[in-house]
Chains A and B, each alone.
Chain A
Amino acid sequence: MFKIIALIGKVILNFSEEMGRILLLFSVTLKQMIIPPYEVRNTFKQMLEIGIRSLPVVLITAIFTGMVFSLQTFTGFKRFGAETLVGTVVALSMTRELGPVLTALIVAGRAGAAMAAELGTMRVTEQIDALETLATNPVKYLIVPRFVAGTLMLPALATIADITGIAGGYLVTVGLFESSSIVYWKRTWDYLETSDIFNGLIKAAFFGASISLISCYKGFYTRGGAEGVGKGTTGAVVLSSMTILISDYFLSAWLFR
């Protein structure tokens, strides 16, 4: 019995400690982000890595999500004669929810894991120490570019996911169910609001920042060789995904009041 309570206490302590360290790293990152010189080239490199390299997966996920979403809603809505609203439903759910969240989960699995693994390896092979000896701040050199790239690229990917999902919905609704294409687009654009899109992108930016920060944290503080790298990577993906899903609720509640 006491063991269980002790275990709970330990979990809470670990969690708090980890949170504190992440926030600490966050503040250091922000500080290093502001102080010149700026890591422009590294940032571009990370943008390429996080953004463009994730594009194929995001495209495929988004288009199929849009397709399956309209497939399901069309069948359901047809039962009460509201199939003209499929475009609206797809557009709203893609921009507000699925675009940002799915993109974030993909990036967490792909780029987040890569970040944690790369930084973890750098840690265990003393590359991070080497950076220090070469008078380079590893936070500035490694984490800031990833953080910036993640924060910028996720909204970009989410935008692409939004439009791809809507296009996927179009394919099914118009192509498969032979609904009117004019009605689909009209319903899509009529009911969507600029705030839907931009609030979705704000969420995406937050997810991007969280993913890169958590993954960098997990990689940067890796211990214990190859196994540690593996653990760090897994931890990064799990923690990022959890953060995305949990913060999504609160962000949505706040943004889409």
Chain B
Amino acid sequence: MKGLSTELKVGLFAVFVILILGFMTFKVGGLDWFKKEGYTVYVNFKNIAGLDEKTKVKIAGVDAGVIEKIELKDGIARLKLRIRKDVTLYSDASASIKATGLLGDKYLEIKIGSMEPALKNGESVKEVIELVDIDDMVRKLSRVSENISTLAVSLNEAFGTEESKKALKESVLNLGEITANLSHTIIVNDRKMRNVLDNINKLTASLNEVVTNNREPLKTTLLNMEDFSGRLKTDGPELVANLSKATKELKEVIEENKNSLKSTIDSFNNVAKKIDSGEGTLGKLVKDDKLYESINKAAEGLDRTIGAIDRFKTFITFQSDYLMRQGDGKGAFYVTLQPKPDKYYILGVVGDPLGRVTTKETITSTPTGTTKVKKKEIEKEIEFTAQFAKRFDNTGLRIGVTESTFGAGADYFFNNDKAKASVDIWDFSNDEEDSKNPHVKVGVDYFVFKNLFVSAGADNILNKKKAGGYVGAGIRFEDEDFKYLFGNISRLR
């Protein structure tokens, strides 16, 4: 260095320093000034959570550009991205904010999509996956876990003590007894049960025959009447005999097993009493408010966190209609099992005031002539409903057994499912005098409150003599509601 002049030394030094500085800025700035190539696209985020300008944009984890600018526009973050020239984004490309590691090395991840046309310079990525707020999630989870721990504590309290263990054992023993009794009853009555079933079979067969025979078009009412009367002469007694026999046999079964049934019922009573008085584990479970609350809270929390998934739902409906024509009430109890929102099964029992109507005609011959006396016998009957239903958007179609005969129906839901208009058709038989035509019911149900609905409509409109309006009301509970209901009941007690 000695031979060099001061100026030269300083000059060399300066060049050296400028080279280093240039190298560093080049490395750091990543060629900011040269790097204006590629194209820009925009993306809007509600929350960019600490993303910065110059942050990398990655596609499949590979650097594909940078965030050139971040602007705030009407409370929304608008990011200007510069994307490499050789990368093509399509119109269904999506953007999301990703972080590697807990230290929060954040970047913008883009999925390029596949739908033509490709994004042009200055266009926006429309699909945006907002960042999950970890804070929020953690808060919810912690609430859930808190509830679960309270639940655990309650359970522990319920089952932990010697007393409760004993009670549990008792309960199990009780249950064992009950099942033993039940099975005994069933075995003893096996034969008779079979008889009952056979009779029912026969009855159905006869009914079937009646239906088949009636398929022919009927010319006149009179002819019908005659025909009917004739057939009744032959078939009627057998049918009645069958029925009475079946009933008798059923009665016998019940009478014979009075004792065992009684003991079963007693056992149930016993259990119920114990539960009612808060004895035993179940009792405790039922009585313990804390436990319920805990379960409720836990369930609520989980529900909120996990969100709505397709749950198996169960509805229980009690309904009571007043039939104006008959001046009588009709009660019904339905269980709706809904494994999927668009598919459900309805099982129910209906207490029909006009269950079965049979007409007896007595012909008395007197000197003045023949007098025909018709006598209607009306039996109140318990009928069964079992339908399969499928729902298409707002329309539901049902098919199956309606009030113990083949039937079908349709529902139209409106006003957010708060209201329902239904048409039902069943009972295609013409074995009843006044109802030669199938039973058709048209009506509207409207939910006044969440669980309470009112209904109104016209019943049996095709059969003039029986047609009439009806009004009714009902309550419907979802399995969800039971939770609260029982919780509340236990609290009230």
Contact = CB atoms under 8 A, between A and B. Distances in A.
A249 interface: no
Contacts of A160: 16-17, 20
Given A82-B103, A159-B21, A194 B13 contact: no
Contacts of B255: none
A192 B29 CA distance: 8
Contact of A194 (B6, B29, B103): B29
B17 A48 contact: no
Contacts of B23: 163
Contacts of A189: 27-28, 30
Contacts, number: 55
Interface in B1-60: 6-7, 9-10, 13-14, 16-17, 20-21, 23-25, 27-30, 32, 54
Given A44-B7, A48-B6, A82-B103, A192 B20 contact: no
A17 B132 CA distance: 61
Nearest to A149: B10
Interface in B330-346: none
Contacts of A52: 9-10, 13
A48 B24 CA distance: 24
B28 A192 contact: yes
B28 A156 contact: no
A162 B24 contact: yes
Contacts of A55: 13
Contacts of B14: 156
Nearest to B11: A44
A194 B26 CA distance: 9
Contacts of A163: 20, 23-24
A194 B28 CA distance: 6
Contacts of B24: 159, 162-163, 192, 197
Contacts of B6: 41, 44-45, 47-48
Nearest to A166: B24
A44 B10 contact: yes
Interface string A52-87: 100100000000000000000000000000100100
B153 to A, nearest CB: 35
Interface residues of B, number: 20
A51 interface: yes
Interface in A80-105: 82, 85
A23 to B, nearest CB: 29
Contacts of A201: 21
A77 to B, nearest CB: 10
A163 to B, nearest CB: 5
Interface residues of A, number: 23
B23 to A, nearest CB: 8
A163 B25 CA distance: 11
Contacts of A196: 28
B7 A85 contact: no
Interface string A31-55: 0000000000100110110011001
Nearest to A47: B10
Contact of A48 (B10, B20, B25, B103): B10
A18 B16 CA distance: 38
A189 B54 CA distance: 12
A193 interface: yes
Nearest to B17: A156
A48 B5 CA distance: 10
B28 A197 contact: yes
Contacts of A159: 17, 20-21, 24
Contacts of A41: 6-7
Name the residue among A51, A194, A196, A201 with the largest chain B CB count within 10 angstroms: A194
Contacts of B30: 189
Interface string B91-104: 00000000000010
Contacts of A47: 6, 10, 13
A45 B6 CA distance: 6
B20 to A, nearest CB: 5
A34 B434 CA distance: 122
A157 to B, nearest CB: 8
B164 to A, nearest CB: 47
Contacts of B10: 44, 47-48, 51-52
A156 B24 CA distance: 13
Contacts of B25: 194, 197
A189 B30 CA distance: 9
A51 B28 contact: no
A160 to B, nearest CB: 6
Name the residue among A41, A44, A188, A201 with the largest chain B CB count within 10 angstroms: A44
Contacts of B103: 82, 85
B14 to A, nearest CB: 7
B253 to A, nearest CB: 76
A207 to B, nearest CB: 16
A202 to B, nearest CB: 13
Contacts of A192: 24, 27-28
A193 B24 CA distance: 10
A196 B10 CA distance: 26
B276 to A, nearest CB: 58
A196 B23 CA distance: 14
Contacts of B32: 194
Nearest to A51: B13
A201 B24 CA distance: 13
A126 B139 CA distance: 79
A192 B30 CA distance: 11
Interface in A207-241: none
Contacts of A193: 28-29, 54
Nearest to A85: B103
A171 to B, nearest CB: 17
Given A159-B21, A160-B20, A194-B28, 19 more contacts: A41-B6, A45-B6, A47-B10, A47-B13, A52-B13, A55-B13, A156-B14, A160-B16, A162-B24, A163-B23, A192-B24, A193-B28, A193-B54, A194-B25, A194-B32, A197-B21, A197-B24, A197-B28, A201-B21
Counting from the closest, the 10 A-B pairs by CB-CB distance are A156-B17, A189-B27, A47-B10, A192-B28, A194-B29, A44-B6, A48-B6, A44-B10, A159-B21, A44-B7
Interface of B: 6-7, 9-10, 13-14, 16-17, 20-21, 23-25, 27-30, 32, 54, 103
22 contacts: A41-B7, A44-B6, A45-B6, A47-B10, A51-B13, A52-B10, A52-B13, A82-B103, A85-B103, A159-B20, A159-B24, A163-B20, A189-B27, A189-B28, A192-B27, A192-B28, A193-B54, A194-B25, A194-B28, A196-B28, A197-B25, A201-B21
